[in-house]
């Protein structure tokens, strides 16, 4: 497991987040929509001084409460109390980590297996030295540059270079200003840029996983494929509902809502991009490619496509194939001619993230019978049997991403990502070390797995009462089992003066629903192809759990069929992001994604006669092992 932390640096030792504020939208609400919860200990009355933010431009006039908490120098530097900022203020903000409550901004990475991911880079750069024009050597500027480019890259010969109008309007002066020496950037037959000096090594891409609950972004060096920075945020569209159906409904009922949702999302993506670029210390003008892998609804909302038809039968997507657009339309802080690629989708509920996960796992080329399960808020399942591919989706809920769990959180700093019981005690693995703040997806599976292993939870998912363990108190961390005044049981994994972290009976039910949904999907999809789990040669489990889940716990909780031998199981981490990384670096990867998506047959499991029965059976935890 690879762990790394990612922070937007502001001043030495100061961590924090950046935000763009629009007039009329309100600082606190805008921050919340970006997943940033400001500390408002005094309730926003300007009395605690904890919600310090710094305007990087257009700071509003300082008020009386600002002057109370900040020096003149600080006020001049743009420091203000967030709660005192008027609603009409706008500009760019820095929010220090200390002004944020909880888990903001620290994340754990999933391992990024780079492989041979850049065989066909979409963008190439070269440093060129051209001859100065004379009467005897009077080629046009663009032709002169083209000839030098072809000399530097002989394999590009035969492609005439074209360029955008704005670049052409500057090109003559730039070439002369640089004395006919500089770096060109070319995509296919388009000259994207000419820069003075040698910047031929500076070419970057951004890859995004647009999940229902979480947004993950990765900044890559296009020439080496190395990851330079990684970031994750809560999806700000949670403000419109934590499942895609709620968001589709919101976007469908009000014309302005779609626009507002798109703007909110773009704002988050822009802020994430800026932070990554800042962290890696690269120039935004050297980011030439973006790749977005999102579920069908998220890709619609990002692009401003009305998702209404996705929300009602027959659940039709606007597009199927992948599509590319100039990123200028999205206002992202990258090169003017940067290209944004969106993954193809398979159906209304099997989206580009699944295609990306399939791409990353080389699913199409694998032999035998294989199943890929992407355990997100919407669970996607793809079955491959020889050359044939089927896909289906199932509503798993956000438990795997730590959401809708009483003390769940996304896989960020402070999240419990692993739990091990030993005798009466237990050990926690916390992202970033330090005190735990909540439980993320992998921690939830680990904890439930341990509870099942020790028999503290039964096959039906019931937390057992302490009385059931009479005489065996020393074997298990029974003291963690608590009953509140109303008789509700919970299992406490951490306690301190400031609070405790516990798993409730309701949380276990959430996980149960998630694993049951996925298992039902697997069973029905296999059945559709006339197969069973016994026929499987390979099962790939992907998902933004936080870290790699352990196979044994996956099997105990029922996420992974318990009869499947471990050697047939591959835990893939956030494979959707991996696929997006590939696509941002390689045109061949995009072509492969297109071909893959076009081959898959979408199956609607909700119409299956066996659904209810299969689901009911799947809600039973297979790994309950009370050894009393």
Which residues contribute to the site for a second copy (CB under 8 A)? 133-135, 137-143, 160, 162-165, 168-169, 171-173, 176, 303-306, 308-309, 313-321, 323-325, 329, 345, 347-348, 602, 604, 607
Sign of CA dihedral 550, 555, 559, 565: positive
Phi-psi region of 564 (alpha: psi -120 to 50; beta: other; left: phi over 0): beta
For residue 329, give the DSSP letter: G
End-to-end CA distance of the chain: 35
From the CB of 375, what's the least distance to a second copy, in Å?
25
Smaller CB separation from a second copy, 160 or 496: 160
Least separation in angstroms between residue 142's CB and a second copy is 5
Q: With respect to a second copy, which residue has the nearer C-beta, 172 or 566?
A: 172
User: Positive or negative CA dihedral for 485, 486, 489, 492?
Assistant: negative
- With respect to a second copy, which residue has the nearer C-beta, 57 or 137? 137
CB of 145 vs a second copy, minimal distance in Å: 10
- Using DSSP's 3-state secondary structure scheme, residue 184 falls into strand
- Output the smallest distance, CB 589 to a second copy, in A: 17
CB of 129 to a second copy, least distance (A): 17
Token digits of residue 161:
């270079």
CB closer to a second copy out of 318 and 626: 318
Distance, in Å, from the CA atom of 27 to the CA atom of 622, rounded to the nearest integer, reads 48
Using a 10 angstrom Cβ sphere, with 0-12 exposed, 13-18 middle and 19 or more buried, the burial of residue 509 is middle
β-pairing, 339-342 with 287-294?
parallel
Q: How far is the CB of 268 from a second copy (least distance, A)?
A: 19
Nearer to a second copy, 73 or 135 (CB): 135
Q: Torsions phi, psi of 73, nearest 5? A: -60, -40
Handedness of CA 49, 53, 55, 56 (dihedral sign): positive
Closest C-alpha among 377, 317, 312, 314 to residue 347: 317
- Which of 295, 417, 421, 403 minimizes the C-alpha distance to 346? 295
The nearest distance, CB 172 to a second copy, in angstroms, is 5
The Cα–Cα gap between 544 and 550 comes to: 14
Do the Cβ atoms of 408 and 402 come closer than 8 Å?
yes
Shortest spacing between CB 607 and a second copy, in angstroms: 8
Angstrom distance (rounded) from CA 202 to CA 94: 27
β-pair partners for 234: 214
Task: State the nearest-atom distance from the C-beta of 309 to a second copy, in Å.
Answer: 6
CB contact at 8 A, 312 and 344: no
Provide the minimum distance between the beta carbon of 25 and a second copy in the complex, in angstroms, as a whole number.
22
* Residue whose CB is less far from a second copy, 235 or 262: 262
Minimum Å gap between C-beta 29 and a second copy is 26
Copy the structure tokens of residue 388: 């044939």
Cβ proximity to a second copy: between 220 and 290 the closer is 290
Q: Give 412's DSSP letter.
A: B
- Give the neighbor-by-neighbor strand order of the sheet with 162-163: 123-129, 181-187, 190-196, 162-163
Q: Answer for the pair 251, 307: CB distance below 8 angstroms, yes or no.
A: yes
């Amino acid at each position: 497991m690879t762990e790394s932390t990612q922070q937007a640096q502001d001043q030495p030792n100061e961590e924090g987040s950046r935000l763009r504020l629009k007039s009329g939208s309100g600082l606190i609400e805008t921050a919340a929509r970006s997943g940033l919860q400001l500390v408002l200990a005094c309730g926003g009355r300007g009395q605690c001084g904890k919600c310090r933010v710094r305007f990087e431009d257009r700071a509003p006039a300082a008020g009386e409460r600002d002057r109370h908490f900040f020096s003149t120098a600080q006020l001049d530097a743009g420091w203000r109390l967030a709660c005192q900022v008027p609603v009409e203020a706008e500009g760019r903000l820095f929010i220090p980590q200390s002004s944020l409550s909880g888990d903001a901004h620290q994340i754990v990475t999933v391992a990024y297996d780079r492989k041979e991911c850049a065989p066909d880079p979409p963008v190439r750069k070269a440093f060129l030295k051209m001859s100065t024009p004379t009467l005897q050597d009077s080629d046009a500027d663009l032709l002169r540059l083209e000839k030098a480019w072809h000399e530097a890259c002989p394999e590009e010969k035969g492609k005439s270079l074209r360029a955008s109008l704005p670049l052409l309007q500057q090109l003559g002066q730039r070439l002369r200003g640089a004395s006919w020496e500089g770096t060109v950037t070319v995509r296919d037959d388009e000259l994207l840029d000419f820069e003075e000096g040698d910047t031929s090594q500076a070419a970057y891409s951004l890859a995004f996983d647009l999940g229902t609950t979480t947004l993950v972004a990765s900044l890559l060096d296009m020439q080496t494929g190395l990851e330079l920075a990684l970031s994750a945020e809560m999806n700000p569209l949670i403000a419109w509902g934590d499942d895609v159906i709620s968001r589709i409904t919101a976007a469908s009922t009000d014309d302005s809502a779609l626009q507002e949702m798109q703007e909110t999302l773009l704002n988050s993506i822009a802020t994430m991009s800026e932070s990554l670029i800042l962290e890696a210390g690269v120039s935004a003008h050297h980011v030439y490619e973006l790749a977005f892998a999102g579920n069908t609804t998220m890709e619609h909302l990002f692009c401003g496509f009305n998702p209404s038809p996705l929300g009602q039968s027959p659940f039709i997507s606007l597009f199927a194939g992948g599509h590319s657009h100039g990123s200028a339309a999205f206002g992202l802080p990258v090169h003017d001619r940067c290209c944004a690629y969106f993954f193809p989708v398979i159906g209304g509920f099997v989206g580009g993230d699944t295609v990306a996960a399939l791409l990353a796992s080389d699913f199409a080329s694998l032999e035998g019978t294989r199943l890929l399960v992407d355990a997100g808020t919407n669970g996607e399942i793809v079955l491959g049997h020889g050359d044939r591919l089927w896909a289906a989706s199932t509503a798993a809920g956000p438990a795997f991403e730590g959401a809708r769990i009483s003390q769940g959180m996304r896989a960020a700093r402070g999240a419990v990502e692993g739990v091990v019981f030993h005798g009466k005690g237990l050990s926690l693995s916390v992202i970033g070390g330090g005190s735990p703040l909540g439980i993320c997806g992998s921690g939830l599976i680990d904890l439930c797995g341990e509870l099942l292993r020790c028999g503290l939870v039964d096959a039906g998912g019931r937390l057992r009462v302490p009385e059931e363990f009479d005489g065996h108190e020393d074997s298990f961390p029974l003291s963690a089992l608590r009953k509140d005044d109303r008789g509700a049981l919970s299992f406490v994994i951490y306690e301190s003066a400031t609070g405790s972290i516990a798993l409730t009976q309701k949380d276990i039910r959430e996980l149960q629903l998630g694993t049951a949904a996925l298992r039902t999907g697997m069973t029905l999809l296999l059945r559709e192809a006339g197969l069973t789990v016994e026929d499987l040669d390979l099962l790939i489990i992907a998902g933004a759990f936080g870290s790699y889940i352990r196979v044994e716990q996956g099997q105990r909780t029922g996420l992974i069929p318990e009869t499947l031998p471990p050697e047939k199981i591959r835990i893939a981490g956030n494979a959707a992001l991996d696929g997006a990384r590939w696509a941002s670096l390689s045109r061949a990867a995009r072509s492969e994604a297109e071909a893959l998506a076009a081959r898959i047959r979408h199956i609607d499991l909700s119409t299956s006669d066996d659904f209810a029965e299969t689901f009911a059976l799947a809600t039973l935890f297979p790994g309950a092992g009370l050894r009393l």
